[in-house]
Chains A and B, each alone.
Chain A
Amino acid sequence: MTKGSKARDNFVVFPLGKKRFALSAEYVSELSRQREHGEEEQQTFPHTTRLLTGVVLRRNQIVPVADIASALIGPEVPERKFYLIVNLSVRGKVNRAAVPVTGECELAEAERLPVSGKLPPYVSGLLSLNDEIVEVLDLERLMSAEVRA
């Protein structure tokens, strides 16, 4: 990086409804397609954790599904056929979670701009991509107790 140049990071940008959101690429380990042919891949069991809707199996590991769409865009959630498998730090340990997305994901290199104005606490930065401002999500914060309604 030359003197005066801004640090640019990689982000995975994904659409949810009419907006796009970004996650730091360092937290994303894979984008995987959900099973097709009507198979119900996500499995559920009773629990009380907000945003978690069930679990999926990935490489014989049980991965919780964090459906963040309702928290970000409300109840009108589009059909999603992919999972972004992300690494979350929970109580000091790294855990994987599957975030349902539509699949139209894009890897973008951009400068993370500081948050301006009144934005939710789970927005950790902003990206200026062409004519669009994209919110960078702090997934751990989004799922943490502090921002629970």
Chain B
Amino acid sequence: MVGTGSMEIIDVLSDVNAATLVPAGPLSVSESVRIPSLTSTVSELQPVWEKYLLCDLVNYFNTKYRDELFSILYRNEFLQMLLRDVIDFVVKELQDSAEQFNIGISLEREDPEDPEQRIIFLIVCGKWKFRDFNERLDAMVKVWKYMESRKNEYLKNFPLDRSKIEEAYFLVSVFIGEEGDDCEVFPTR
């Protein structure tokens, strides 16, 4: 997300196995179809979904900042849903385009008036079959468009929660890195 130049990166969460929800280690393409806990749709959600979804997501990202991540996601259930849906989509959509990839998350603070708020960046790094940057960019566009479609779907299904849904939409960004990049995001100076 575009910031003002004073953005502070406060977290590094990286290298999670998207297929099995077991932290650390690259995603094997052959394993990447096994994502049972990240595949339910809005219409299938059960009354207890929120509790399990939140726990799944917090455990999914292998971080020492578990409590902070929990509190960020706890604020907005649509943030949880959007993250879950985007991760699910990324894993399915990119498996044929990669030999392996990792999904990391970076939490960045941009608004000094709302110190609790964090911008969430999903960072996907790997060894791609893309021939050039433009193909990777096209893959990013596909993920972004999917994110937008999920937002519209949430708005349709939960019209009373518009502000929460839009907040979640603005708080999440997705980047696809390349081999040589790192899912780690170092603190800014």
Q: Do A and B come from one complex?
A: no
Binding site for A on B (CB under 8 A): none
Binding site for B on A (CB under 8 A): none
